[in-house]
C-alpha cells in the first residue's frame, strides 16, 4: 500500500509508486561475462532493476527504484527486522521512551563516520529532520507519515548532545517506531543547498542529489556507496570504508565487495540470463515457476517462498475534477463517469480475478480486496470484495444512466461512447498481461479500453506532475503498519494521486473537489495513529478497509506469492515476504 523508508538491506518500503525492483540482473551474455571477468577477484553480486532511478535523493524519492538505490547508501536511526517485524538499532544503538509516551530519546553509536571520513553526529540527524524532511519547501512523504494527532503537528526534534536526539510528540503516536527509519543525510554536504535558492525560488537541495551527481560526490553512511552509474545500463556499488556495522566475530562488513544492478526493461531477459548462469538471483514470476522449479538442482539455486506477497496491485481512475491554467486534467464528461461510484463498482464486478490468478499467476495467488497487505496484522480477512459478475456490472451501469447500442457498445446519457486510456509501466510482463486481460474483460460490458504500457518514469511524471491520466494499473509495496500509507490517504498527502493536490513548486489547481469519504478516511488514519490499544486500532483500520471497498478509489486485483530464486553459493539467505532475499545483504557471503 505504501512505500515507507526503511533501509536496504533491512527494507526500503517506499510507496512503490509502482515499479518492481527485481532481485536479478539481466545482461547480454557478452556484458555479463565482461563484468564478471573485470571483477573476478572481488566477491560480486549481480541483481536487476526494470528502469533507471529518477533520483538518488532519499528525501524526495517516491518510486521504489530511487528509494532502493538510496537505501543501499543511507541508513536511518533504526530499521525493521523483516523476519520479526520488530524495530532494531541502526545508526542509533538504543532509545528510551518517557512514561507519558511523548518523548523518545535516541542515542547514536559512538564513532560514526560518513563515507568521506567526516563524523556523523546528532547535528546530522537534527539537520535531516528539521531542515529536510520537515521543510515546507521540500515535498516528501515523510511529513505525511509523521504528522501526529488532530493538529497534524510534526514531532519537535532537538539535540541533547553530540550523541543524543530527542523527539517530542504532541500526543501518543502508535506507529512512531515503524515510521522513523528515514535515511539520515550529511549536514556538511547539504546545509548550503537548503539555505540557498535558485532563480525560480526553489531550494537548491531539490537538485543537489540527482542521477547526474557524480558518484564520488555522494557521501554515504550505509554498507555501500555508489561507484558507477551509466544511464540505461547499470549501477555499481562498492563498500563504504567507514560502515558502522561489524560482524559478530569483529569482521568488517559488507562481505560482498561489489553489487551490480543492470538496468534492463524486460522480465523475459531476466529469465534467459538467470538460466544461462549470468545472474545471481531472480524474482520468480508465476509463469516461470514450473520451469525454474525443475532446474533448481542443475542450476544450483533454490526457490524461496515467503508466503503472500506484501503490497497490492490495482487499477485506479483519475478522480481529480480540477484544472490547471484552464485545462482540466480529465475531460469533464469522462470525469463524471470516473467519479460515479457505481461506475467504479461496475468495473470491479467486470474484472475476472480468478482468470487472472489461473492464467497469469498459474494459480500462485489469491484475490486482493484491501489496501492493507494480506500478511499484516490489521488485514480484514472477512472483506468480501467484488466477485466476477457481468450481469451485476451491467445493472449498475444502467442504474447510472448508461445505455447500450445494438452492437453492445456502452454510452453515457449525453451520447458519449465510454472509452478511456489505460496505462501501466512497460517491461513488467505480468502487468502487461493483466492489463490486456482487463481490457478484454471490460469490452464485455461495452467499454472501449486503449491499453498502453509506457516507460515507468514517464508514468510517474504523469501521476506526480502533469496529472493528465485517465486510468492506470500499478502496484504498491506494503508492510505491517498501515500508517506508513498515510501519505496516500491524507487528502493533501504527497501520494494521494487518485485526486492529487498541488505540491510545493507546482502551479495551483483550480476546482479540485474533495469528497466526504476521502475526508473520512483521512480522519480515520489520524484516529488510528493516536490509539495505542491494538484491538481498537484494528477496528479503525477495519472501517477504513470497508470504506475503501465501497468507494473504490482503487480496484484491487490479485495478491501473488513472494517467490525468489537465489544461487546456492550466496550464504546465508533468510528469505521473507517483507524483506526478500537480500534484506541482510551486508552479512551475506559468496562461497565457491
Q: What is the pLDDT of residues 46-76, one digit of tens each?
A: 988 878 999 999 999 877 788 899 999 999 9
Cis-peptide into 320, omega within 30 deg: no
Paired sense of beta strands 471-476 and 312-317, if any: antiparallel
Closest by CA to 402, choosing from 476, 454, 334, is: 334
DSSP code of residue 519: H
Mean pLDDT calculated for residue range 261-284: 87
pLDDT > 80? residue 15: no
pLDDT at 127: 98
pLDDT > 90? residue 514: yes
Mean pLDDT calculated for residue range 399-422: 98
pTM of this prediction?
0.83
pLDDT at 202: 92
DSSP code of residue 385: -
pLDDT > 50? residue 439: yes
pLDDT at 48: 83
Mean pLDDT calculated for residue range 481-498: 92
pLDDT > 70? residue 13: no
- Whether 369 contacts 558, CB under 8 Å: no
pLDDT at 17: 32
Mean pLDDT calculated for residue range 452-473: 93
CA distance 356 to 386: 14
Residues 287-346: tens digit of each pLDDT: 889 999 999 999 999 999 999 999 999 999 999 999 999 999 999 999 999 999 999 999
* Percent of the chain at pLDDT exceeding 90: 79
CA distance 511 to 394: 31
Mind giving me the DSSP string for 442-504?
A: HHTTT-EEEEEEE-HHHHHHIIIII---SEEEEEE---S-GGGGHHHHSTT-TT-GGGPPPPT
pLDDT > 60? residue 1: no
Confidence of residue 34 (pLDDT cuts 50, 70, 90): very low
Confidence of residue 40 (pLDDT cuts 50, 70, 90): low
Torsion of CA 187, 189, 193, 195, to 10 degrees: 40
pLDDT at 9: 35
C-alpha cell at 196: 540557498
CATH homologous superfamily, domain 312-560: Dipeptide-binding Protein; Domain 3 (3.10.105.10)
CA distance 488 to 501: 12
34 vs 415: which has the higher pLDDT: 415
pLDDT at 33: 44
Exposure of 330 by Cβ count < 10 A (0-12 exposed, 13-18 middle, 19+ buried)?
A: buried
Mean pLDDT calculated for residue range 186-208: 95
Closest by CA to 130, choosing from 167, 163, 92, is: 167
Torsion of CA 68, 89, 143, 195, to 10 degrees: -80
pLDDT > 80? residue 579: yes
CA distance 544 to 371: 9
Mean pLDDT calculated for residue range 426-455: 95
Biggest CA–CA distance in the chain, Å, is 77
Mean per-residue pLDDT of the chain: 91
Mean pLDDT calculated for residue range 131-136: 96
Closest by CA to 563, choosing from 306, 310, 312, 366, is: 306
Mind giving me the DSSP string for 306-349?
A: EEEPSSEEEEEE-----EETTEESS-HHHHHHHT-HHHHHHHHH
Amino acid at each position: 500500500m505504501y512505500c515507507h523508508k526503511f533501509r536496504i538491506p533491512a527494507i526500503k518500503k517506499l510507496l512503490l509508486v509502482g515499479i518492481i525492483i527485481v532481485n536479478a540482473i539481466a545482461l547480454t551474455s557478452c556484458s555479463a561475462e565482461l563484468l564478471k571477468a573485470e571483477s573476478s577477484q572481488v566477491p560480486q553480486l549481480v541483481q536487476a532493476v526494470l528502469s533507471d532511478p529518477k533520483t538518488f535523493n532519499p528525501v524526495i524519492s517516491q518510486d521504489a527504484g530511487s528509494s532502493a538505490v538510496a537505501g543501499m547508501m543511507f541508513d536511518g536511526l533504526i530499521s525493521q527486522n523483516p523476519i520479526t517485524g520488530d524495530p532494531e538499532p541502526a545508526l542509533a544503538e538504543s532509545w528510551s521512551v518517557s512514561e507519558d509516551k511523548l518523548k523518545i530519546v535516541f542515542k547514536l553509536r559512538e564513532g560514526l563516520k560518513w563515507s568521506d571520513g567526516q563524523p556523523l553526529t546528532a547535528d546530522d540527524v537534527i539537520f535531516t529532520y528539521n531542515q529536510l524532511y520537515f521543510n515546507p519547501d521540500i515535498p516528501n512523504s515523510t511529513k505525511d507519515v509523521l504528522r501526529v494527532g488532530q493538529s497534524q503537528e510534526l514531532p519537535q526534534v532537538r539535540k541533547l548532545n553530540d550523541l543524543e536526539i530527542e523527539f517530542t510528540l504532541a500526543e501518543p503516536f502508535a506507529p512512531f517506531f515503524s515510521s522513523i527509519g528515514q535515511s539520515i543525510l550529511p549536514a556538511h554536504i547539504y546545509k548550503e543547498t537548503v539555505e540557498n535558492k535558485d532563480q525560480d525560488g526553489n531550494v537548491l537541495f531539490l537538485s543537489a542529489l540527482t542521477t547526474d551527481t557524480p558518484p564520488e560526490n555522494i557521501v554515504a553512511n550505509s554498507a555501500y556507496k555508489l561507484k558507477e552509474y551509466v544511464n540505461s545500463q547499470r549501477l555499481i556499488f562498492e563498500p563504504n570504508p567507514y560502515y558502522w556495522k561489524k560482524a559478530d566475530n569483529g569482521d568488517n562488513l559488507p562481505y560482498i565487495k561489489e553489487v551490480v544492478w543492470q538496468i534492463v526493461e524486460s522480465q523475459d531477459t531476466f529469465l534467459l540470463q538467470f538460466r544461462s548462469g549470468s545472474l545471481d538471483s531472480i524474482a520468480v514470476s508465476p509463469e516461470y515457476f514450473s520451469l525454474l522449479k525443475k532446474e533448481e538442482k542443475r542450476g544450483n539455486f533454490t526457490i524461496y517462498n515467503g508466503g503472500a506477497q506484501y503490497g497490492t496491485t490495482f487499477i485506479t481512475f483519475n478522480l481529480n475534477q480540477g484544472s490547471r491554467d484552464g485545462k482540466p486534467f480529465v475531460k469533464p464528461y469522462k470525469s463524471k463517469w470516473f467519479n460515479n461510484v457505481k461506475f467504479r463498482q461496475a468495473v470491479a464486478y467486470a474484472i475476472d480475478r480468478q482468470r487472472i490468478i489461473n492464467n497469469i499467476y498459474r494459480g500462485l495467488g489469491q484475490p486482493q480486496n484491501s489496501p492493507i497487505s494480506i500478511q499484516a496484522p490489521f488485514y480484514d480477512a472477512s472483506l468480501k470484495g467484488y466477485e466476477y459478475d457481468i450481469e451485476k456490472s451491467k445493472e449498475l451501469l444502467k442504474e447510472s444512466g448508461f445505455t447500450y447500442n445494438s452492437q453492445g457498445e456502452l454510452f453515457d446519457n449525453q451520447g458519449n461512447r465510454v472509452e478511456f486510456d489505460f496505462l501501466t509501466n512497460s517491461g513488467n510482463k505480468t502487468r502487461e498481461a493483466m492489463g490486456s486481460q482487463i481490457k478484454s474483460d471490460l469490452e464485455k460490458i461495452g467499454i472501449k479500453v486503449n491499453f498502453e504500457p509506457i516507460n515507468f518514469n514517464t508514468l510517474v511524471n504523469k501521476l506526480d506532475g502533469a496529472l493528465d491520466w485517465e486510468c492506470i494499473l500499478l502496484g504498491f509495496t506494503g508492510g505491517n503498519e498501515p500508517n506508513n500509507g498515510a501519505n496516500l490517504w491524507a487528502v493533501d498527502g504527497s501520494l494521494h494521486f487518485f485526486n492529487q493536490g498541488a505540491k510545493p513548486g507546482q502551479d495551483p489547481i483550480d476546482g479540485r473537489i474533495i469528497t466526504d469519504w476521502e475526508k473520512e478516511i483521512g480522519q480515520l488514519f489520524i484516529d488510528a495513529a493516536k490509539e495505542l490499544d491494538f484491538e481498537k486500532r484494528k477496528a479503525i483500520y477495519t472501517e477504513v478497509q470497508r470504506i475503501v471497498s465501497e468507494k473504490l478509489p482503487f480496484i484491487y486485483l490479485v495478491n501473488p506469492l513472494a517467490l525468489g530464486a537465489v544461487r546456492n553459493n550466496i550464504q546465508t539467505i533468510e528469505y521473507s515476504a517483507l524483506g526478500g532475499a537480500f534484506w541482510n545483504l551486508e552479512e551475506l557471503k559468496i562461497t565457491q
